[in-house]
Each structure stands twice: as C-alpha cells, then as structure tokens.
Amino acid sequence: MLSVSGGVRRGAVTRGGIFRVMAWAFWPVVACCFIESVAFAQPAEVAPADLKDFEESWQVIYIGNSRVGYVRGSSGRLERDGQEVVITDSEMSTTISRFKQTLKSKVLTHSEEAPSGDLLAFRFEMLNPPAAPTRSSGRVVDGKLLLTTETNGKSTTKELKWDNTVKSPAFQDRLLRENPLKPGDKRVFESFDPQFGKRNTVTLKAGDYETVTLLGGKTQKLLAVTISQSVAPLITATEYLDDKGVGLKSTVSLANMITYSVSREEALKALTGEEVDLAVSTLVKVKPIDRARNSLEAVYRISVAGDDPAKALTTGNTQAITRVTPHVIDLTVTSVRPPEQAPPEAADQPGAEFLASNEYIQTDDALVQKHAAEAVGEETDPWKQAQLMEKWVADNLKNKNFSTLLASAAEVAKTLSGDCTEHAVLLAAMCRTQQIPSRVAVGLVYVPTLSSFGGHMWTEVYIRGVWVPLDATLGRGVVAADHIKFADTSFSDEGEATAVTSFLPLVSALGKMKIEVQSVKYPPK
C-alpha cells in the first residue's frame, strides 16, 4: 500500500534525484523551460518561513574518488485553499571536466504535491553557462497538465491529458520514510520527471541489510534498496537506508557515482581541483582501427555487463544486429551514400517534424537562414547542398568549446562555437531551411588518437529516399563505418516525451559497454 502522511522529516528529500544528476552530468540534457509571464503554469514562490515543519538536507556527490558537487534539499508544508500541500525544493550543483575544459551545471527543482504524493505543480531549471538557461513549469488542473516551455527566448504552451494519481518527483523519498521498506519488499509507482518531461515508472526492491562504509570510513548496517526507472532502464541505483528509512548513501551503476548524506559544511567544501574528465573516463577502449575514417563497413562485437546491448542500439540502413548470446551482439555498421536516383516509392518517408522549426532546431532564425544560403550558394542538388552546409559548419565553428552541454541552433548560429552537439543541431537547422529533412543522431565515434570510442552527435539528412549521415564536426562530406548509432531524434516539440529520451540509451550504457573490432572493409586501392 503506497500511503504517505503529510508530515515531513529530515532527510526526506532529494535522494530520488540521483537519476537526474546522472542524466545531465553525463550527456547534454534537452530540458523544457518555463516562462515567467504565464501565470497558470508556474507554481508560486514559497519562502522557507512560510512552511511548517521546514527541514533541510545535504549530500555530497563523488565520481570515483573525486568530489564533483553537492545536492541540497528542503521540504515543508502549508495550507492552500483548505488543502495541505507538501513543498519540496532541490538544488544539484556539479563541476566536471570535458577534455580539460571545466563544465559547471546547476539543476533546480521545485515540486508541490498532495499529502498522498499526487503531483500538483512543478518548476524545473537547468543552468549551464554560457548557454541560455533551460526551464519548465507545469500545474495539474482538471485532469490536465498545463505545461509551459521556453528555449532561447521563445515559449510554447500546451495541455497534456493527465492521470491525477501520478506522483511528484519527491514522492519516492517521503514514501521510504513514512512507510519504510523491509527486506524483500517491492513497491512500484508512477511519478512525473520534470527533466525528462514525461511520466516515469519507479520500482523499489529491498534486499537485505549490509555493512556499508560511509564518508570518512565509518561503517553502518543499512538496508540496500535497488531503484530502477523506466526513463533509464539500463541504469540502476542502490539506496542504503537506516531503520527509519533515511538514505545515508547512494551508488549508481554508471561511472562509479556515489552520494553521501553529510552536513551543510561538508557538502559545500571546496572541490579538490581534480574534477573528473567525463569525456575521457567514459571512453570505450578498442584495438587500433587502421584508416577508420575511410572504412566502408565494420563489424563490432558489443556487450553490456548484465544486460542486452541490442536494447541500447538502433538498426536501420547503416546498422544491423546479429545475436551472439543474450548479452553479446555483432553490430555491422555500413557507410551510406544516397543513390543516384530516388526509388519510385520510398518506404521510409519522413514526417513533417523533420522539416519543422522547434525549440532546438530553429529554421525560422535569421542567422541560421543566412548561414545556409551562404553555404549552398547557387547549388541546387540536395546532396551537394547538404555536403556544402556540412563543410560550412566545420569551417566556421572554430571555437571548439566543451563547456556547454547543449545550445540551440539559433544560439550556435550567433556564437559559432561549441562541440559536436552544437555542430549537429546547427547543420540540422540549416538543412531544413533548404527543405532537406534532417535529424540528429546520438552515439559513439572512433577517436584514432585514443584508440577508443567516445560519445558523439552528428546529423542525418534524407536524400533521394535514404537517411544519410553527415558529421559537421569532421566535415568530410561522408560518414565512415566508425560511427555507432544509439538513437536519433527530430527534436520535435510535439508529444509527451522530450528529445532527452534519445540520449538515454547511450547514457545507460556508458561505463558498462565493451567493444571488440571483428573486421573492417575499405575501398579498393
């Protein structure tokens, strides 16, 4: 029975947010945003002094042996229109490194829920300078979620059909304290995750009591509870709870991430200066691939510890999967070029979303349109146009800035800086201005200097009946068999899910994937 009282006790917040920490720390987060002027969607600001039973808790975040940030949570309750409302706020701050460039991020989450845990309202904000903040807010009214989003100064509002029993993001922590688990217990409920912008099925499974080492070396017997979520099915977390349901430590099946419950003073201590370089620490080492950028076809044997790698990868005209064992596959990757002529009836016709302007691929931006027109000049052939635009982006984004998670095409068109994510969205937007359908691909690329595969984004364009990859980071006019695709996205604003879900398969596999090069084919000499 998932019953929770209205009381709030110390330590009852923020622990469930560890999945959100993982997502934005390990891959560019595509979050929705809220707009201040739309009153119906935005929860009111609440001062701590206005809350009864106000409590605050702190955690410190480690990756391996390196301290990378902290989590602050607070919770309390108030009376509003004769109804008791539980207010929870969370602040998560991290400092990490990507290819030796510092990346600082902060995520702020505010949720309002009924004593039963049912979501009433939320507000979410991600700060990742120099990119513009991303924000979202929503309020449940008459069986609908009124959602407001904004990216790069442009806002949208929509209504989603709602189930009033869906819980708030903070419900998990209250449930564990108000109705503690016992060894062998299992609980499943549905909550709303504001960062992913969708409903999320949470499963809690209690194991047994274990002797756990806490920060500073002290040990304590704690109940191990495994947490899995539908938004990231390949990632699990283990929460270690005392006999009152208070979480004292969390571990995550990704890059050795750990959080510890600590005092405010401990959480806010200065970082060691040895921040983790996630771009380097998540590389997948392989044997050297000769002339990888010229490869026509490659077969990779892929495994993910304890899971099926096929669940993380996609198939299509560039990739095919052959099953080896339940946990091992052979992935055949093929370098694709468009045919000379379109087939009479192409089976894979792209929808309107692959030409439309949206929050991150703004085809209506004046600078995006200007850059595209400059790149194509008088050329009329769509494939040659796409190649020219790929080269333009590669040549003109000279500032390879790794300190931003994900900027929109309009921002990139102005700053002409960024890493692979910015190259990918700008090229996708430019192609759409020329009526070439486009999408963004998420996956891995082989890095010759490191003999490793690393996280990457590139662009795919629909030419003469075929989706064809282009990579504006490399600017070669064609993509070799050294790119492994996990997912693709149009970045469409429509639907209940956000584009962040396209990044989750790769995020889920990071740190657990093994790749062995089986064979490589090259053009005849």
Q: Judge if 210 and 313 occupy the same domain.
A: no
Q: Judge if 506 and 361 occupy the same domain.
A: yes
Range with the poorest average pLDDT among 181-185, 317-321, 490-494: 490-494
For residue 386, pLDDT beyond 60: yes
Q: Judge if 206 and 233 occupy the same domain.
A: yes
For residue 395, pLDDT beyond 60: yes
Q: Is the dihedral of CA 39, 45, 46, 47 positive or negative?
A: negative
> Is position 223 within any domain?
yes
For residue 204, pLDDT beyond 80: yes
Alpha carbons 129 and 395: distance in angstroms, whole number: 24
Structure-model confidence comparison of residues 9 and 520, the more confident one: 520
Residue 43: pLDDT band by 50, 70, 90 thresholds? low
Residue 101: pLDDT band by 50, 70, 90 thresholds? low
Q: Judge if 81 and 166 occupy the same domain.
A: yes
Range with the poorest average pLDDT among 130-134, 447-451, 492-496: 492-496
Alpha carbons 311 and 291: distance in angstroms, whole number: 29
Contacts of 433 (CB under 8 A, 6+ apart): 363, 368, 369, 372, 373
Q: What is the pLDDT of residue 256?
A: 75
- Out of 204, 236, 267, pick the residue that ends a domain: 267
- Out of 240, 267, 294, pick the residue that ends a domain: 267
Q: What is the pLDDT of residue 157?
A: 83
Q: Determine if residue 71 is left, alpha or beta; phi over 0 gives left, psi from -120 to 50 gives alpha, anything else beta.
A: beta
> Is position 1 within any domain?
no
Residue 18: pLDDT band by 50, 70, 90 thresholds? very low
Q: Angle 22-28-31 (CA atoms, 0-180°, nearest 5)?
A: 90
User: What would the pLDDT profile of 136-146 be if each residue is shown by its tens digit?
Assistant: 899 999 999 99
| DSSP annotation string for 287-356 | ---TTGGG-SEEEEEEEETTB-GGGT---SSSEEEEEEETTEEEEEEE-----SS--SS-SS---GGGTS
What is the extent of the structural domain holding 165?
Answer: 15-267
Q: Judge if 234 and 375 occupy the same domain.
A: no
Range with the poorest average pLDDT among 15-24, 198-207, 367-376: 15-24
Q: What is the pLDDT of residue 340?
A: 87
The overall average pLDDT reported for the chain is: 84
Q: What is the pLDDT of residue 404?
A: 56
Q: What is the pLDDT of residue 447?
A: 93
For residue 41, pLDDT beyond 60: no
For residue 8, pLDDT beyond 70: no
> Is position 4 within any domain?
no
Mean per-residue pLDDT for 171-178? 88
For residue 375, pLDDT beyond 60: yes
> Is position 279 within any domain?
no
Q: Judge if 171 and 38 occupy the same domain.
A: yes
Q: What is the pLDDT of residue 66?
A: 83
For residue 187, pLDDT beyond 70: yes
Q: Judge if 231 and 364 occupy the same domain.
A: no
Q: Judge if 90 and 235 occupy the same domain.
A: yes
Host H or E run for residue 22: helix 18-26
Q: Judge if 90 and 210 occupy the same domain.
A: yes
For residue 27, pLDDT beyond 70: no
Range with the poorest average pLDDT among 20-24, 382-386, 480-484, 501-505: 20-24
Between the CA of residue 26 and those of 97, 367, 478, 510, what are the distances in Å?
11, 30, 28, 9
Q: In a 3-state reduction of DSSP, which class is residue 280?
A: helix
Q: Judge if 475 and 448 occupy the same domain.
A: yes
Q: What is the pLDDT of residue 279?
A: 62
124, 109 contact by CB (below 8 A): yes
Range with the poorest average pLDDT among 215-229, 241-255, 317-331, 395-409: 395-409
**Percent of the residues in the chain that have a pLDDT greater than 70, as a whole number:** 82
For residue 272, pLDDT beyond 50: yes
Q: What is the pLDDT of residue 500?
A: 64
Tokens read off for 443: 């996956």
For residue 420, pLDDT beyond 80: yes
Mean per-residue pLDDT for 209-221? 95
For residue 320, pLDDT beyond 50: yes
> Is position 292 within any domain?
yes
Q: Judge if 290 and 262 occupy the same domain.
A: no
Alpha carbons 284 and 443: distance in angstroms, whole number: 12
Residue 403: pLDDT band by 50, 70, 90 thresholds? low
Is 288 exposed, middle or buried, given 0-12, 13-18 or 19+ CB atoms closer than 10 A?
A: exposed
Length of the chain: 525
Query: What is the tally of structural domains in the chain?
Result: 2
Mean per-residue pLDDT for 211-240? 91
337, 523 contact by CB (below 8 A): no
> Is position 511 within any domain?
yes
Q: What is the pLDDT of residue 28?
A: 40
Q: Is the dihedral of CA 153, 432, 129, 503 positive or negative?
A: positive
What CATH number is attached to the domain comprising 316?
Answer: 3.10.620.30
Q: What is the pLDDT of residue 5?
A: 37
149, 155 contact by CB (below 8 A): yes
- Out of 267, 298, 316, pick the residue that ends a domain: 267
Q: Is the dihedral of CA 141, 145, 151, 156 positive or negative?
A: negative
Residue 276: pLDDT band by 50, 70, 90 thresholds? low
For residue 4, pLDDT beyond 50: no
For residue 416, pLDDT beyond 50: yes
Measured from the Cβ of residue 435, the count of other Cβ atoms closer than 10 Å reads 10
In terms of average pLDDT, the best of 119-123, 169-173, 499-503 is 119-123
Tokens read off for 102: 């510092």
Residue 343: pLDDT band by 50, 70, 90 thresholds? confident
Q: Judge if 315 and 246 occupy the same domain.
A: no
Structure-model confidence comparison of residues 113 and 401, the more confident one: 113
Q: What is the pLDDT of residue 152?
A: 61
> Is position 8 within any domain?
no
**Percent of the residues in the chain that have a pLDDT greater than 90, as a whole number:** 57
Q: What is the pLDDT of residue 499?
A: 60
Q: Is the dihedral of CA 374, 472, 478, 29 positive or negative?
A: negative
> Is position 9 within any domain?
no
